[in-house]
Structures are given as C-alpha cells and as structure tokens.
C-alpha cells in the first residue's frame, strides 16, 4: 500500500473537542441504509456518539433536491433564496446549525455521487456574491455561518487508496470555497472484501474496529491517527482474490437473469 499523504493522516477537527459538538452527516449514497457506505458509517457513528457528539444524519436520497440552474437569483434578486421549491431550505437550516459536517459518499466514476454534487451546488446560497481573496486566490465571502470543518467518509469498489485522489482534491477545494477546514478522510477501498468476514474474521474485525476508533478519536481528541486510518484502509484479501470473487458474483448474476429471461 502506498503511503498516506497529509490529508489522510492527522485529522484536524479540533473544535470537536468542545463538548457535545453538533455534526451533520450528509449521507449522499443512493442506496442509503442498504449500501456499503452505511456499513462503514455505522461503526464510525458509534464511535462519534460514544464520545458525546450530537449527530444529525441527512439522507439526501430521501429528499427532493432540484439541480442548480445557474440563474444566480439567490445571489441578488432574492438573496439567499433559490428559485426552486424543494427540501433544500430545511437542509440548509440543519447545515447552519451544525459545527462540523461529515460528507459520506461512495466513489462514483472517480468522484462523489451526483446526489452529493447536486446538494453542494445548491449550497451556493451560503455565498455572498462579492469576490474576496484568501491565501490561495479568489473566493466568495460567506453569507451565513457554515460548519467549521468538513470530514470525508468514503468507500469504493477497487482496491487502492489512489481511487480516492480526485474525490479528495474535490472535497478539499469545496471546503475552501465555504471557508471551512478540510479535516481529513476515512477511506475504505475494496469495500466488497468486507463481505469476506467468514474467511478473514480477524482482518475484517480489525478494519471495523479502526473505523469505530476513528469516530472515537475524532470526537475525543480532534484527530484521527495516521495508524488508525491506515488500518481502516488495510487490504483484507489480495487484489487477485477480489477480482475472482467479483467475477464469480457477476457470472452468477448474469446466469440467474439469463435463466429468468429464458423462462419468460
Ligand atoms: C455508477 C457507479 C460508479 C462507480 N465508480 C467507481 C469508481 O470509479 N471506482 C471504484 O472504486 N468504485 C466505483 N463504484 C463502486 C462503488 O463505489 C461501490 O459499489 C460502493 O459500494 C457504492 O456505495 P453503496 O454501496 O453505499 O451504494 C461505482 C459504483 C457505481 C454504482
């Protein structure tokens, strides 16, 4: 496994050390409670809650979120108010109320899901239309309070942490746009290998324990150690075994549906 870079090492979520900080979890996986993102989120949330964090989970898949049409009405004609009539205003209220945000999205074609992107585009109502500068370049000032930090939780199908690189860069830049600190990421590649709990119980338990420990550390001390994040991303089986397992699964599925079609 290649070394973790700084963004994956020490997580600076320092303000969570204050008691009972409120965290909004933006759950941007279309399969919601039934998917692998939830498999990783569950122990992570146990860890956060264990240390007293107040967690508000917003399942984007259950919400009506229309896509931004780029009209800029929310910038000037009706400042802070979008032309769409949907669930975003109540979600924006919940975001304004939170001290920190956890963005939970699986990797879809090397990036975040369209649910996550549509939601984030609609967060431009948080921005004042004027331009200002920071130490990197030009950004908008904030119109409303935004969570002080964004922490990413993500899973993907392929083995290797490099599969998260475009997503990491994207979320880091999104955080800057909202004057928020990018607080790091809990990343679980080769997520389907979690299904091998019967064959590799110790390895799977070690990963799940590290995921829960990530929540504990984040809430308790404001950091997640490099070692804990590394264990959470550890290989459970060799890539060759994953390939064999995935291909056997899809062959079974193809046969199953072919049989069903033949009977019709
Ligand atoms: C449309 C789509 C695109 C995907 N693209 C990638 C990808 O680029 N890289 C990867 O490693 N996994 C990719 N995956 C696999 C998902 O990350 C994986 O299935 C994950 O478990 C999905 O999250 P969920 O189980 O919570 O729905 C993709 C899955 C879908 C449905």
User: Does residue 242 lie in a domain region?
Assistant: no
Pocket test for ligand 1, best of 36, 108, 170 (most atoms within 8 A of CB): 108
Averaged pLDDT of the chain: 93
User: Does residue 78 lie in a domain region?
Assistant: yes
82: how many CB neighbours lie within 10 A of its CB? 19
How far is residue 188's CA from residue 13's CA, in Å, rounded to a whole number?
Answer: 20
- Give the number of the atom of ligand 1 that is nearest the alpha carbon of residue 36: 25
User: Does residue 252 lie in a domain region?
Assistant: no
pLDDT given at position 7: 41
Share of the chain above pLDDT 70, in %: 92
pTM: 0.94
What backbone phi and psi angles, to 5 degrees, belong to 166? -65, -40
User: Does residue 249 lie in a domain region?
Assistant: no
Q: What residue numbers bound the domain in which 74 lies?
A: 6-236
Question: 133 CA distance to ligand 1 centroid (A)?
Answer: 36
User: Does residue 253 lie in a domain region?
Assistant: no
User: Does residue 202 lie in a domain region?
Assistant: yes
Exposed e or buried b per residue across 22-55, where buried means at least 16 C-beta atoms within 10 angstroms of its C-beta: ebbbbbbbbeeeebbbbbbbebbbebbeebebeb
User: Does residue 93 lie in a domain region?
Assistant: yes
> What does the block give as tokens for 180?
């928020």
Share of the chain above pLDDT 90, in %: 88
Q: What is the CATH number of the domain that holds 40?
A: 3.40.50.360
Q: In total, how many domains does the chain have?
A: 1
Output 244 or 16, whichever has higher pLDDT.
244
Task: List pLDDT tens digits, range 61-71.
Answer: 999 999 999 99
Task: List pLDDT tens digits, range 136-195.
Answer: 999 999 999 999 999 999 999 999 999 999 999 999 999 999 999 999 999 999 999 999
User: Does residue 195 lie in a domain region?
Assistant: yes
């Amino acid at each position: 496994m290649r070394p973790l870079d700084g963004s994956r090492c020490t997580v600076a979520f320092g303000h969570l050390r204050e008691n009972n900080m409120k965290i909004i979890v933006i759950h941007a996986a279309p399969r919601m409670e039934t998917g692998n993102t939830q498999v990783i989120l569950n122990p992570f949330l146990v860890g956060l809650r264990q240390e007293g964090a107040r967690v508000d989970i917003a399942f984007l898949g259950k919400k009506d979120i229309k896509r931004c049409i780029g009209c800029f009405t929310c910038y000037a004609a009706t400042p802070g108010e979008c032309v769409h009539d949907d669930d975003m205003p109540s979600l924006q209220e919940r975001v304004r109320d939170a001290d920190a945000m956890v963005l939970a999205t699986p990797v879809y074609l090397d990036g975040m899901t369209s649910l996550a992107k549509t939601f984030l585009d609609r967060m431009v109502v948080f921005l004042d239309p004027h331009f200002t500068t920071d130490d990197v370049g030009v950004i908008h000032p904030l119109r409303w309070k935004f969570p002080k930090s964004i922490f990413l939780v993500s899973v993907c199908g392929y083995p290797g942490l490099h599969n998260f690189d475009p997503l990491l860069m994207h979320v880091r830049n999104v955080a800057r746009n909202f004057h928020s600190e990018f607080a790091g990421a809990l990343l679980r590649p080769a997520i389907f290998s979690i299904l091998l709990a019967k064959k590799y119980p110790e390895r799977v338990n070690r990963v799940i324990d590290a995921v829960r420990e990530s929540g504990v550390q984040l809430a308790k001390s404001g950091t997640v150690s490099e070692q804990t994040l590394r264990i959470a991303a550890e290989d459970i089986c060799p890539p060759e075994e994953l390939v064999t397992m995935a291909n056997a699964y899809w062959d079974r599925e193809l046969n199953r549906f072919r049989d069903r079609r033949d009977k019709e």
